[in-house]
Every structure is written in structure tokens, then in C-alpha cells.
Structure 1
Amino acid sequence: MSAIPYHHPIGILPDDIDHMGHVNNSVYLKWVQEAVVRYWESLAPPEAVARHLWVALSHEIKYRRPAFLDDLVVADVIAEKVEGARAAFTTMIMRGEEVIAEVRSNWCCLDSVSKRPARLAREIVARFLPSA
């Protein structure tokens, strides 16, 4: 499938740095959460954004290289698949052309009022996966 990618700049803060002098592993989860939600907000229509919330079901992170305070880092996110209320995303944390972490995550879309799983309409899914 031909997914629409999203490029999310990341700012590394002094509090992100651990006792070993690089970005703490837990910070990557914060980055992925922010990047996937911004991806949703950038492509979904405003009424769909207001009507839906996303919760993470799982993350698998492969750390390739450490990140440091002065690094310029971005998260490149793509939707891999959407089935019903579930969606799979891949997020590549990049420093220039170098992959510093690869994250595969599964998410569940919720109705913002009932907080119950909500299937996404086909036309909304098509904004992320045009060939779906």
C-alpha cells in the first residue's frame, strides 16, 4: 500500500538526557506518541479529530544509535494498515539520513465520548492509505 508519510521534527530537551549522556530510552515513547497523534491531526478532517482519540496498544522499539542533546532529530511516521478500530504505524527516528530508532506500534481508535473502540470511515482511512 502507498501510505502518506508524515515528517515530525523533534526537539531534544536537557531533561531527555540520562546519566549516560544520551536521550533516555523512555523518551522515544513520548516522541512516538506525539508523532503519531500529530500525523493523525495533520491528515484527518477536524470533525474526525474531535470525534476520535488514539490509545497505544503496543510498541516495539529497535534502538540503532544513541541521540544526544544537540542532535537534529525527526520522526517519520507512516500508517501500515488500518483494520476496524486498530491501526499499525511505523515511526523511524532519524538524525539526517541515519536511523537511530525504528518503532512499530499498534493503536486503537476510540470514540471521544464513549471511550469505546471506533471503526474509522473508509474515506478517513484513505487519507492515510490511499490505495486501501
Structure 2
Amino acid sequence: MPTKSFAIPIRILPEDIDFMGHVNNARYLSWVQDVVFQHWQKLAPAEEVASKAWVALKHEITYRRPAFLEDDVIAETVLEKIAGARSFYNTVIKRGEDVLAEVQSMWCCIDSETLRPSRINRDVAESYFGLPPKNQPTTGE
């Protein structure tokens, strides 16, 4: 059972536009990073935000439609599950009802001092991110 979604508006800048007149595909990764980080910063307790950092392990992007300079775009993400130090997010980038891109990504939580992988406390996962208790199945298990 995934958590509720979290969304942010995306501001498209002139430097985001490539030679074909639409947003360069690489910018989508920046948007995914922005929404995932802001999701963590908004929901996690301050001590967790201060003591942890995130690194991307994998992104799988399906591009559906191009985005353009004047578009109103949002990035909406859902934390699907946490497994040890890994978190699995599903992010959709939309313009109105049009899906521009879908991104499945895997992130590793690290201790911000040691830079070593660090598990997310189960109480934090349950209390702040709405993930089910460990004895209840999650999506994909």
C-alpha cells in the first residue's frame, strides 16, 4: 500500500529548452530529484532530515509527451516502499491531465556524516510516510 502522493510545481526556464524547442530529457531527472527530496524534507522529522541524505541508485523513465517553455507542469511522487536503506518512488510529471513522463526510481538513504547506507527507522516510515507496519504486506511483496 503506497503512501499518499506529494506534488510540486515545476518552473520551466529558457535554459531547460533544447535545440528541438522542448525541455531537454535530462531536466526530468532534476525534477524527480527535487520532488523526492522535498517529499522527504516536508514529511520526515527534522532530526531525520538533518542526519540523512539521499543518493539515486536507479531511474527508469518513460517519456510520453514533450514539455515546452510556457507549460504549467507538476511533478507528483509516491513513496511505494522502503526496504532497508532503499526507497522506491514512482513519480509522474504532468501538464494538466497529460502525462509527460513516468519515472520509477530507487534511492539509497545514507548517514550524512559517514556517507554509509542507513536504514529508515520503521517508526518514521509508518508514522510520517504512512507505510504499513512491518507485519502487513506492501505492494510487490
TM-score, scaled to structure 2: 0.91
2-structure distance, mates of 1:6, 1:51: 22
Per-residue Cα deviation, 1:26-46 (whole angstroms, up to 9, x for no partner): 000111111100010011011
1:27-106 map, 5 Å? 27-106=27-106
What SS class does the counterpart of residue 68 from structure 1 fall into? Answer: coil
Distance 1:129 1:57 in 2: 23
The 3-state SS of whatever aligns with 1:92 is: strand
Over 4 Å off, 4+ runs: none
Task: Tell me, in whole angstroms, the C-alpha distance in 2 between the residues paired with 1:20 and 1:117.
Answer: 40
CA contact (8 A) 1:85 1:109 kept: yes
| Counterpart contact for 1:81–1:129, Cα < 8 Å | no
For structure 2, the residue ranges without an aligned partner over 5 or more in a row are 134-141
Offset at residue 5 of structure 1 (A): 1.1
Note if contact 1:79-1:129 (Cα within 8 Å) is conserved in structure 2.
Answer: no
The residue number in structure 2 matching 1:19 is 19
RMSD of aligned Cα (Å): 0.9
Distance 2:53 2:83 in 1: 16
In the aligned structure 2, how far is the partner of 1:129 from the partner of 1:80? Answer: 10
Pair 1:129 & 2:126 matched: no
1:78–1:89 CA contact under 8 A, matched in 2: yes
TM norm structure 1: 0.97
